[in-house]
Structure 1
Amino acid sequence: MELIKFLTFLAAVLPVAYGAPTQASSNLHPKILAAMKRDLGLDAEQATARVARDLWASDVIEQLRTTAGSSFAGAWIAEDGTTLNVAVTDEALAAEVSAAGATPAIVANSFSKLEDAKLALDNMDIEQPKTLATDAAETGIAAYYVDVAANKLVIEALAGSVAHAEALAAQVGLVASEFEVKTVDAMPTTLATVLGGDAYLINRASRCSVGFSVTTGFVSAGHCGTAGSTATTSSGASLGSFSASVFPGSADMSYIRTVSGTTLSGYIDGYGSGNLPVSGSTASATGASICRSGSTTGVHCGTVRSLGATVTYAEGRVTGLTQTNVCAEPGDSGGSFYTGAQAQGVTSGGSGNCASGGITYFQPVNEILSSYGLTLVRA
């Protein structure tokens, strides 16, 4: 109960309106502030308040996830950035949600039920058999994820695979009210030869980017290289080699162990506008603000759309990615995703561009750190 009281107090004193001043206005790098102003329409005080509340929301969600147990049905930050919604299936928990500073939503499906259905899809062959009926339209299941705000499993599919997506949902035990099929125009692709932090070459040929420094090297996207591949600077100096890599499958992540004497910095390359500090890796919630840095399009911001998405690339499915509405283009892959100074992940792939907008997925950095036993270098 003491924690609940503290969280209630914290919710009251944190700015609930973007215009409220904060003491942390100097904590966000000017380049982050500029990107959030351009993409989210927030001035410096509003952006600082938004990031502070996003990080507060992550703590509250974890607290309520534990106390609600099997009745927990997900959480999301509203589009205005000021309201944290926490869904539960047991109406008796509404008061506890409110006491923690969040807005309760009573829904029919628990998060675990929908997540189990998604995991069942992960373990199935979802490729659509070719028939005469599908020859005229492009087919493919682009991605699927739990939409906590809709309290449904969402399956994104090309026009020729809508019926197939509906059949897949039925196979994993979902009825019509528990899933939604959304039609998309194109399949996601990995964004090859991308720079998010500093550029590096794989086997002195293809190019990718440093995601975040760790105490023994750096992490990046798994599709950049395989175990044993060499990593060098753009000028050809040896950095080290890929110690581990996963792609496709359960992740799009890699760990490059660097050679002795390599300087590992706890910053993101700002490409002429100063370096962006990394101070931790607290994961952001659905609806939270988030930014991405990449060498092709620079810094762009948006919001988190869903967690734990499964994405279908030409190389195969990848599970556990985070979906955002931040744009990216070829040359941005592997770049750093971050909320404020909190590392979030490395750019995996997506669709669209920064002229018309797009969807970009990233591999959460905390999974990389835990999987390989790594420690993030902090500024």
Structure 2
Amino acid sequence: MSHKRIPKRKAAIAAGSVVALGAAAILLPHANASQGGSSTDAAPRTMKATDASDLASQLQSLLGQAFAGSYYDAAAKQLVVNVIPGDNNNVVVQAKKAGAKVREVSNSLAALKTGAQTLKAKATIPGTAWAVDPKTNKLAVSADSTVTGADWNRLTSTVKSLGDGMATVKRSSGTFKTLVSGGDAIFSQVQGGTVRCSLGFNVKASDGSPAFLTAGHCGVAAKQWSDSETGQPIATVDQATFPGNGDFSLIKYDDPNTQAPSEVNTGEGQPVQITQAADATVGEQVFRMGSTTGLHDGTVTGLDATVNFQSETDPNGVDTVTGLIQTDVCAEAGDSGGSLFTQDGSAVGMTSGGSGDCTSGGETFFQPVTAALQATGATLGDGGAGAAGQAGSADPSASASDAAGGGDAVGGGGTADPSATASDGTGDQSGAGAGDQSGAGTGDQSGTGTGDQSGAGAGDGSSSLTGTN
């Protein structure tokens, strides 16, 4: 039986397709093998970030309650493991022999998680976020520009109540919003306009049918999705989580014979094969593809982050999302829902939201791919979450509007009127700007529709074409 392919114009929606402005070669895996002595050497050994992530997982089991987090030192190419001082000399020696750099810290993971629970109970304020920062061994608390007055006092007093050395507070530029990121644009027609998002990663659903992952707020916004703004639906939401414990959707292709290659098409005929799903490691370099801002790279800065977005349906409410990856990768409106991945082809996350932009800076949060796969029962590629993906490449002749149409689940990525108010509901410059779930379009589910051109996202400000962030 012949397999049906998505129209050539869309080139079989590859995971995270977008024109990469000549950066494809930067992302292709190259020699970077682990180095260092044997497993009996006590000196830290050099390794790749993916190897550091694997080793960290093993050492967490080995160290037990003595384990207080870990991060990847990109400059030294070493895994740094935090331990709580105590009667654990034997396991610490084993950790050193395994190649990790071990350092003693004062805050246990249990204490940090208790602190996060206190923040959740007393300071769940729209525009705030927090995550464990293993580099400082503290909770890193962020507040956007909307957190002022009594809310700011409430946040800072709660942080102070945690005790000295437990948390830090910083301001984030812009406003925390759900974004829409990454790859080929996907569209849905809803009452009042068009919702536009981006495809994250192609997967196989638990029943073997072809599907893809994207942001959960996309799946909540609309049920059926097309690969063109005016085209017929080609995929239907199977599962969607937002808000709550994650921001992810599993959307199944309607045609069971649809080819869904496991790759990120960086343009110019050089797709990066996605061969596995990997947990993020603090300190590792990651790449994001965005239809609005193109290719950007940055660093993972925190894990298990909690973000409190302004509610989409209740002006006085808050949409809290937990379990996210915190990064300094920049993003803007039109960049959410799509691929966050590593140089060696590991799928790491899908853009959820953040604050700032690629000019002024900020921070962006991502839904972990591993958690989304576990929750939905889906797998990457033909053989599951560690197997090589199905071959396939995007049409190199695809235009930016075809291959990277972008997708703001919040009503499209365009440049909105910076003076627009909540009642203005300005639209996307591509004409898809109605129906923004986060308030960028006239068909906003919450009915508020803002036209904030800063979107959300985080900015290191670099073009990320050299991969040196």
TM score, norm. by length of structure 2: 0.64
2:99 is aligned to 101
Letter in 2 for 1:350: G
After superposition, the C-alpha distances for 1:156-179 in whole angstroms (9 at most, x for unaligned) are 1245444322332366xx212212
Letter in 2 for 1:169: V
Deviates more, 1:64-73 or 1:224-233: 224-233
After superposition, the C-alpha distances for 1:9-43 in whole angstroms (9 at most, x for unaligned) are xxxxxxxxxxxxxxxxxxxxx8455369xxxxxx9
Letter in 1 for 2:85: D
- CA 1:244 to 1:58, structure 2 compared with 1: closer, same or farther past 3 Å? same
Cα displacement (A) at 1:127:
4.8
Please tell me whether the aligned partners of residues 188 and 349 of structure 1 are also in contact (alpha carbons under 8 angstroms).
Answer: yes
After superposition, the C-alpha distances for 1:176-206 in whole angstroms (9 at most, x for unaligned) are 22122223333311224x4x22221123621
Cα displacement (A) at 1:97:
2.4
Q: SS at the partner of 1:203?
A: strand
Letter in 2 for 1:321: L
Q: SS at the partner of 2:336?
A: coil
Please tell me whether the aligned partners of residues 47 and 78 of structure 2 are also in contact (alpha carbons under 8 angstroms).
Answer: no
Equivalent in 223, 236, 259 of residue 229 of structure 1: 223
Q: How many residues align?
A: 327
Question: Does residue 1:262 correspond to 2:248, yes or no?
Answer: no
1:276 is aligned to 272
2:185 is aligned to 199
Name the CA distance, whole Å, in 2 between partners of 1:81 and 1:357: 26
Q: SS at the partner of 1:287?
A: coil
- CA 1:68 to 1:303, structure 2 compared with 1: closer, same or farther past 3 Å? same
1:85 is aligned to 80
Please tell me whether the aligned partners of residues 278 and 369 of structure 2 are also in contact (alpha carbons under 8 angstroms).
Answer: no
Of Structure 1 and Structure 2, which has the larger fraction of its residues in strand? 1
Superposition pairs for residues 1-379 of structure 1, below 5 Å? Answer: 31-34=23-26, 53-90=48-85, 92=89, 93-122=91-120, 124=121, 126-127=123-124, 141-157=127-143, 158=147, 160=149, 161-169=151-159, 174-192=162-180, 194=181, 196-203=182-189, 205-215=194-204, 216=209, 217-226=211-220, 229-234=223-228, 236-260=231-255, 261-315=257-311, 316-340=319-343, 341-377=345-381, 378-379=389-390
Cα displacement (A) at 1:241:
1.0
Please tell me whether the aligned partners of residues 153 and 178 of structure 1 are also in contact (alpha carbons under 8 angstroms).
Answer: yes
- CA 1:374 to 1:227, structure 2 compared with 1: closer, same or farther past 3 Å? farther
Letter in 2 for 1:151: N
Name the CA distance, whole Å, in 1 between partners of 2:85 and 2:116: 22
Pairwise CA RMSD: 2.6
Name the CA distance, whole Å, in 2 between partners of 1:353 and 1:293: 14
2:4 is aligned to none
> Sequence identity, in percent?
35
Name the CA distance, whole Å, in 2 between partners of 1:188 and 1:350: 5
Name the CA distance, whole Å, in 1 between partners of 2:96 and 2:355: 38
Name the CA distance, whole Å, in 2 between partners of 1:256 and 1:44: 33
Which ranges in structure 1 are unaligned for 5 or more consecutive residues? 1-29, 37-42, 129-139
Name the CA distance, whole Å, in 1 between partners of 2:261 and 2:234: 14
Cα displacement (A) at 1:302:
1.0
Of Structure 1 and Structure 2, which has the larger fraction of its residues in helix? 1
Letter in 2 for 1:376: L
Cα displacement (A) at 1:283:
1.5
Please tell me whether the aligned partners of residues 127 and 176 of structure 2 are also in contact (alpha carbons under 8 angstroms).
Answer: no
Cα displacement (A) at 1:116:
3.0
Which ranges in structure 2 are unaligned for 5 or more consecutive residues? 1-21, 36-45, 312-318, 382-388, 391-469
Q: SS at the partner of 1:296?
A: coil
Name the CA distance, whole Å, in 2 between partners of 1:197 and 1:109: 39
Per chain length, whose mean CA-contact separation is higher, i.e. which structure has more relative contact order (CA < 8 Å, sep 6+)? 2
TM score, norm. by length of structure 1: 0.79
Q: SS at the partner of 1:238?
A: coil
Q: SS at the partner of 1:114?
A: helix
- CA 1:279 to 1:79, structure 2 compared with 1: closer, same or farther past 3 Å? closer
Please tell me whether the aligned partners of residues 87 and 106 of structure 1 are also in contact (alpha carbons under 8 angstroms).
Answer: yes
- CA 1:347 to 1:67, structure 2 compared with 1: closer, same or farther past 3 Å? same
Deviates more, 1:244-253 or 1:348-357: 348-357
Letter in 2 for 1:304: V
Name the CA distance, whole Å, in 2 between partners of 1:94 and 1:162: 41
- CA 1:366 to 1:116, structure 2 compared with 1: closer, same or farther past 3 Å? same
